[in-house]
Structure 1
Amino acid sequence: MENNISELVERLGSDEDAVRKMAVFKLQSSIGDPSFADIFIAEGGLIRLRYLTLHASGNTLAYSLTSFARLLEVDKGWEFVDQEVVERIVELIVMHPLVNILRGAMSILVSIVSHPNTGGRLSQNGTFGFRALKPAIAIYPQFLEMLVSRLSSADHALCANALQLINSLMRDSITNESEADWPKFIQRLQDLGVIRAVYTLMQSSALQDHAHPLIEFQSLTKVLLRKWRDIALDLEKPEHRRALKGIHLASNSERTVEQGPENGNDARRSKRHHPEKWRRLGFESESPTMQFQIVGFLGMMDLADYIRNHQDEFQKLLLEQSTKPAQQRCPIARASLSVTQILYEHFEVDKSEMEDAKSYLILESRANLDKVFKPLLLHWTRLHVAGLHSFFRLWKVTGAEVEDYEKIVELIRILVESVVGGAPRTKDVQDVEDELAEFEYPRLRELQMELLELTHEDVWGQHLRQVREELHHEALQFVKEQRIRCLLQGAWFPDDSISKSDMVALGDCTWKFVQLSHNRRFLHFGQFDSVREKCPELDALPEKLDLSAVSSVVSNVSATSDDSSSSTVKSVSHHVSTTKITIHGYAQPVSSIEYSEQSDGHTRSTSKATHREAVLLSLRPQSPSLASEWLDGLLMLLNQQPITAETNKLINLVSDYGLKIRLLNVRFDDGVFAGESPGVPSREGLDDDYYYDVFGGA
């Protein structure tokens, strides 16, 4: 083996380019073996490899760069990494167009920049990390721009290498650069378009080819957000003081003071002594730094970005709020900080890198990629502005006051979870912004109630299911009584004794009025020439049907009903209904009738002879609502289940409202009292002179 390596090293120094090219081509496939690398270095091969890296061209250079990169990956050869090598690699990245050369060059820089984080021996000058590239970048200032541009390369491997190098530069800068320097570097990358480029890669169909560097960039984005959040707002720092001052200046305080109704006579007051300098911007006190304790400098950045990019809107909003009573003013600054906190929690920014590392295991399965990648995280600022606009809209729509602040915050949290959390990986951020802006308040309240119900489902479990069953039974009894009362009220039906063709020809028909008796045992009915303004009395109905003789009630009523249909017979007097309710029963021979006493004290007739089922009564309801009332009313009167969609919808509606009312009045700790149970309020000084208003309370 040593002889073969010695021969390979000798060929690397050949005067013929073809010999050197073949030798370094073979080297790149073997140099990744640490034992091979040790012998190779001992034979003096590293000196010749370094020479080729600095002076070769074409494929010979490409193979040399790949070999050098693989040698560094096994943590060997660092003693030959110096500023000359770094400058040469940076030059290649900036100046060279060939993809196979760029790939190897970027791999070498990734190892150099990441070296302090991966361990190993340092060179004598210890120049590694981002600082090793700074002298070379000073010579080639377009380096970062070229690097970001490679993210849109059609070559997926080159694209992945470029992103890997950007990740290494970002990580080293965040870890080792001063607090004043690393934000400038990150801002430089963002100005060059790195966010847009990575966002496009995350949404592309070739996601798998860039999966690992993309998930690392996403993790680094969380690191940045967490780092900014952990920086406390400190007015001793010039940049923090400038940011806060910029917010105040952007508010155009002089104009607001002059036009504000409460300060009309004080327009000449010194600007330095405005009594609500910060409260008028939406802070809770005149010490705004206190409100940044939770979201830190990240909250300041988000608020400053909004005001800087929407200054006219900000000033207009402040003027509008200044005309309202203090309790009705929307706290703009406080709302901004809350939206920042909501986004921070939604994207689980505090999740440790160890947790994020689990995502790499998911990537290996080539499944569930959409669950791992969160492209919208990269558009943090746009989501913050969209969320803040939604806050302002909901505040206005609901007529909220300061005491309702937390309720609006909760609605925004649900909105973000629904729209941002429910967005697929390929959904564009503009579409997400539009959906946040168009999400209606009633729909949001429905989501809130569903989440509340699910939350209580988890907490209460079996108890909640029992409550549901009880409420459904109560709702069923309630609707049953409502439907039977419709029968007690009576209704008009066209007489079905004449044919449909005759009804159309005549343009009119005789009418049948049907009404349930007060004891709910008989259906009384009679025929009339027309529908009367005043319903006939029960005594005026000559015929009656004993419900004890009814065997079944059948109908062609549709399973779905049209709620918009009117139940007023007069408005459809010339309409021929196709809906029909048929009441069947048994016709009994008089000679064979016997009577038996029932459990309710009444006597009911039975027959020993063979019963013959016949049609006892037919009804033609003129609207779906009337059909639902009478069909289900008759069925429920006979202790059968309702079948129409309209009745079942009403039962579910009553049941759901009952459940929501109970949920809104229950706490998680209602079942367990710490210490003694609460006492019954005293009625001392009260009398019995009170009544209940159904809509307004007691």
Structure 2
Amino acid sequence: MFLPIESHQDEPDHHLTVIHLDKNQQLTGILPVTPEIDRAHASPKSVAVMENAINVSELVERLGSDEDAVRKMAVFKLQGSIADPSFADIFIAEGGLVKLRYLVLHTNGNTLAYSLTSFARLLEVDKGWEYVDRELVERIVELIVTHPLVNILRGAMSVLVLVVSYPHTGRSSPSGGPFGFRALKPAMNVYPQFLEMLVSRLSSADHALCANALQLINSLIRDLITNEDETEWPTFVKKLQDLGVIRAVYDLMQGSALHDHAHPLIEFQSLTKLLLRKWRDITVDLEKPDHRRTLKGIHLASNPDKLPVKGSEFADDTRRRHSPEKWRRLGFESESPAAEFQETGYMGMLDLTDYVRKHQGQFQMMLLEQSTKPARQRCPIARASLAVTAVLYEHFEVDKSATEDAKSYMLESRADFDRLFKPLLLHWSRLHVAGLHALFRLWKATGAELKDFDKLVELVRILVESVVGGASRTKDIQDVEDELAEFEYQRLRELQMELLELTYEDAWGQHLRQVRDELHHEALQFVKEQRIRCLLQGAWFPNESGAEDDAAPRVELKRPVLPYKYVQLSHNRRYLHFADFEAIGEDVPELDSLPHKIDLSIVSSVVSNVSASSDDSSGSTIKTLPHHSSSTKITIHGYVAATTLQRTSSKNHHNHTRSTSKATQKENLLLTLRPQSHSIASEWLDGLLMLLNQQPITAETNKLINLISNYGLKIRLLNVRFDDAAFVGEPPEIPSREGLDEDYYYDVFGGS
């Protein structure tokens, strides 16, 4: 008979479970009912479907058949039902687990593939652990090493993933059998090529197999970190790295099959951060032999016997090795280097060792070069290495696991994966070396000294944020290294100031905008004074034939046109003096020798084509305009009164209008200037405008005003600590004035 009952909550697709009882009311079969069967329940169609319910006793009997075809069909049906806990209980009660284990140990082909899948699904519902023993594990390890069929490998790896990551706090399963890394260790001794084959599967074209292989690697690493001592997991991880696991996972993270590999890739990235934290948390202790050997290796790699040592008392090798600057010459701050690894821990020592080992020649060359410099000018290599390690640790947010990051994304679109996965994290060692080389380059380019060390580290931090943080998921590590090596110092400083301004903009807001306005006004006044001083200094301008064709009527004397004109502002800044000359003299004409002058109070406008022709926003070099082709022109117009425009000729003096009403006067051309360069044109045009209390109009002057204003802002920002603008945590408490009066004074001279 068939009896409908409620399904398990963890099987949402099954609304009913059909139980099969024999004539003696003994339970012999069970079938999860699909929604299709559920909808057809109580209809004639349901009878035909339910007749297919598995008879567990019969299925177990067929698993033990001598014919492979019978066993294969039975285990094929089994893999579809074994994941149901109720079915699994009946299957085990009927003795099916013994026969399933036998098939795993002794069959091949599809029969073996279905058997492995069934066994893995049985373990997933936390049943059958008592049959996981050393023989079974060794058989599955052998399959992974020797078997080529993908469907068998997938099932074998699924079983091992469950064995290694068995959720139990003890050292063995309830039956006393092995689990975790220890379960595989004996089999790995028999098949030493196991890890190599496992890593090679990461390059498989079968995405499921690839994901299973990475899951197994993740399980081994996590179990070792969780349950083994500090000596076991570093050796294992180092072996995986030597086999190429980093490159293989890096390629997967940059690949296109992210949906198929997402879970194991996220876990591997999380484990990478966990490993970095583990290394960081290990305190460098010279009482430990391996720590002492590592530090000694750094010293010996520096080739101390070839370094020049001051004083003959250190001439022999023995004394040289006991130099009072043994560690400081390598870039440590003291002769007790272990204390300087406090922030970065053993991870900092590993990074420094890696650099010294891979770039030993450069390391020795730098020490030789710096030994000839004063101590304050030597780049502290060891401190620099530790600083770059700390920068990378902060940049990748190592204290935050990748699993926590994944919760922030839906992981549905490619953009979600691009933001989550950080393939460059896997190349930590190469990024460390590239960052260290960048710091060395900045040290040399800036002529830095020890007091500037923290400033250079800050620049490296900005460099890493810009290049590494700005890199796309698919950007190759070699391209990142090249960009770190070629990044221009000037651009880096600009980024630093932009970041600083944004930081203080957020912290100060309105106050910073007020400072900007004040500085812009100060810069404007400064440039105004500079431009007016150019007028006070005077300048030569060419006169050109055809200069008399101006639209406005000229008021100047009718006289022969001489080649050059000299113009100068009076010391009281009220008159513009000028005169024409045959040639540019070696000596500057005296102001009193200039017969013509214009009272600036009558000037109505200054017009020019300078702003259009001199807009050199690209910053290119200004070229001097040839005399014969100069097209740049400044014209000064004004309302002329007899008392304001003075001439040497009394005849012309009587021709001027004496009316003081500008409304009844006509605007006249007072003077024409033809500058020979854009720079002179900018100085005189904007100088005249600013002298008349008008705004400058040329690009060159405005660029100068902005430059001075921005530098003023940067200087003020650099003189303020970051904590003054953005407090970490609660802002400092304002001191109370309780008990104070106004009886105080300022010590102007700074005396005691």
Fold shared by both chains (TM-score > 0.5): yes
Runs of at least 5 residues in structure 1 that lack an aligned partner in the other structure? 501-507, 591-602, 687-698
Q: Which residue of 2 aligns with 1:485?
A: 533
Shift in alpha-carbon separation, 1:289–1:83, aligned structure 2, 3 A: same
Q: Which residue of 2 aligns with 1:403?
A: 451
Shift in alpha-carbon separation, 1:685–1:202, aligned structure 2, 3 A: closer
Q: Which residue of 1 aligns with 2:434?
A: 386
Is the contact between residue 584 and residue 615 of structure 1 (CA under 8 Å) also seen in structure 2? yes
Task: Indicate the structure with greater helix content.
Answer: 1
- Pair 1:339-2:385 in alignment: no
Q: Which residue of 2 aligns with 1:350?
A: 399
- Taking the TM superposition and a 5 Å limit, the aligned residue runs for 1:161-560 are 161-256=212-307, 259-263=308-312, 266-267=315-316, 270=319, 273-352=322-401, 355-358=404-407, 361-495=409-543, 498=546, 510-518=563-571, 520=573, 523-537=576-590, 540-542=594-596, 544=598, 548-551=602-605, 553-555=607-609, 556-560=612-616
Q: Which residue of 1 aligns with 2:108?
A: 57
CA distance in 1, matches of 2:621, 2:260: 59
Q: Which residue of 2 aligns with 1:150?
A: 201
CA distance in 2, matches of 1:320, 1:46: 72
Q: 1:679, CA displacement in angstroms? A: 6.6
Is the contact between residue 484 and residue 637 of structure 1 (CA under 8 Å) also seen in structure 2? yes
| Structure 2 letter corresponding to 1:576 | S
Is the contact between residue 6 and residue 43 of structure 1 (CA under 8 Å) also seen in structure 2? no
Q: 1:135, CA displacement in angstroms? A: 1.9
Is the contact between residue 172 and residue 179 of structure 2 (CA under 8 Å) also seen in structure 1? no
Q: Please give the per-residue CA displacement for 1:56-86, whole angstroms capped at 9, x wherever unaligned.
A: 4333333333333233233333233222332
Is the contact between residue 562 and residue 624 of structure 1 (CA under 8 Å) also seen in structure 2? no
Q: Which moved more, 1:122-131 or 1:72-81?
A: 72-81
Shift in alpha-carbon separation, 1:16–1:626, aligned structure 2, 3 A: farther
Q: Please give the per-residue CA displacement for 1:24-76, whole angstroms capped at 9, x wherever unaligned.
A: 44544444444444444445444444343333433333333333323323333
Shift in alpha-carbon separation, 1:274–1:515, aligned structure 2, 3 A: closer
Q: Root-mean-square deviation (CA), in Å?
A: 3.7
| Structure 2 letter corresponding to 1:229 | R
CA distance in 2, matches of 1:643, 1:153: 67
Q: 1:219, CA displacement in angstroms? A: 1.1
The SS at the match of 2:175 is coil
Q: Which residue of 2 aligns with 1:579?
A: 632
Shift in alpha-carbon separation, 1:59–1:614, aligned structure 2, 3 A: farther
- Pair 1:657-2:657 in alignment: no
| Structure 1 letter corresponding to 2:747 | P
Q: Which residue of 1 aligns with 2:26?
A: none
CA distance in 2, matches of 1:684, 1:437: 47
The SS at the match of 1:363 is coil
The SS at the match of 1:76 is coil
Shift in alpha-carbon separation, 1:297–1:21, aligned structure 2, 3 A: same
Shift in alpha-carbon separation, 1:209–1:541, aligned structure 2, 3 A: farther
Is the contact between residue 614 and residue 700 of structure 2 (CA under 8 Å) also seen in structure 1? no
CA distance in 2, matches of 1:458, 1:397: 32
Shift in alpha-carbon separation, 1:66–1:581, aligned structure 2, 3 A: farther
Is the contact between residue 130 and residue 177 of structure 2 (CA under 8 Å) also seen in structure 1? no
Shift in alpha-carbon separation, 1:643–1:39, aligned structure 2, 3 A: farther
CA distance in 2, matches of 1:88, 1:613: 107
CA distance in 2, matches of 1:373, 1:457: 31
- Pair 1:680-2:733 in alignment: no
CA distance in 2, matches of 1:111, 1:310: 42
Q: Choose the corresponding residue for 1:632, options 686, 689, 698.
A: 686
Q: 1:232, CA displacement in angstroms? A: 1.3
- Pair 1:91-2:142 in alignment: yes
Shift in alpha-carbon separation, 1:99–1:396, aligned structure 2, 3 A: same
- Taking the TM superposition and a 5 Å limit, the aligned residue runs for 1:29-178 are 29-116=80-167, 122-178=173-229
The SS at the match of 2:55 is helix
- Pair 1:642-2:696 in alignment: yes
Q: Which moved more, 1:195-204 or 1:651-660?
A: 195-204
Shift in alpha-carbon separation, 1:437–1:674, aligned structure 2, 3 A: farther
CA distance in 2, matches of 1:588, 1:248: 89
CA distance in 2, matches of 1:174, 1:562: 58
| Structure 2 letter corresponding to 1:483 | R
Shift in alpha-carbon separation, 1:320–1:489, aligned structure 2, 3 A: closer
Shift in alpha-carbon separation, 1:565–1:217, aligned structure 2, 3 A: closer
Q: Which moved more, 1:666-675 or 1:573-582?
A: 666-675
CA distance in 2, matches of 1:117, 1:606: 104
Shift in alpha-carbon separation, 1:646–1:36, aligned structure 2, 3 A: farther
| Structure 2 letter corresponding to 1:648 | N
Q: 1:529, CA displacement in angstroms? A: 4.4
CA distance in 1, matches of 2:688, 2:110: 91
Q: Which moved more, 1:174-183 or 1:432-441?
A: 432-441
Q: Please give the per-residue CA displacement for 1:627-649, whole angstroms capped at 9, x wherever unaligned.
A: 32233334434444333221111
Q: 1:187, CA displacement in angstroms? A: 0.9
The SS at the match of 2:607 is strand
- Pair 1:6-2:55 in alignment: yes
TM-score, scaled to structure 1 = 0.84
CA distance in 2, matches of 1:421, 1:272: 42
Q: 1:185, CA displacement in angstroms? A: 0.7
Q: Please give the per-residue CA displacement for 1:147-170, whole angstroms capped at 9, x wherever unaligned.
A: 101111222222222111111111
Shift in alpha-carbon separation, 1:178–1:548, aligned structure 2, 3 A: same
Q: Please give the per-residue CA displacement for 1:443-492, whole angstroms capped at 9, x wherever unaligned.
A: 43333333333333333222111111110111112222222333343434
Q: Which residue of 2 aligns with 1:596?
A: none
Shift in alpha-carbon separation, 1:513–1:106, aligned structure 2, 3 A: same
TM-score, scaled to structure 2 = 0.78
Shift in alpha-carbon separation, 1:461–1:180, aligned structure 2, 3 A: same
Q: Please give the per-residue CA displacement for 1:541-577, whole angstroms capped at 9, x wherever unaligned.
A: 536475645256352435335755557xxx6444513
The SS at the match of 1:367 is helix
Q: Which moved more, 1:284-293 or 1:118-127?
A: 118-127
Is the contact between residue 608 and residue 632 of structure 2 (CA under 8 Å) also seen in structure 1? no
CA distance in 2, matches of 1:247, 1:236: 17
Is the contact between residue 521 and residue 548 of structure 1 (CA under 8 Å) also seen in structure 2? no
Is the contact between residue 548 and residue 604 of structure 1 (CA under 8 Å) also seen in structure 2? no
Shift in alpha-carbon separation, 1:272–1:253, aligned structure 2, 3 A: closer
Q: Percent identity?
A: 70
Shift in alpha-carbon separation, 1:39–1:559, aligned structure 2, 3 A: farther
How many positions carry a matched residue from both structures? 661
CA distance in 2, matches of 1:69, 1:531: 100
Is the contact between residue 553 and residue 635 of structure 1 (CA under 8 Å) also seen in structure 2? no
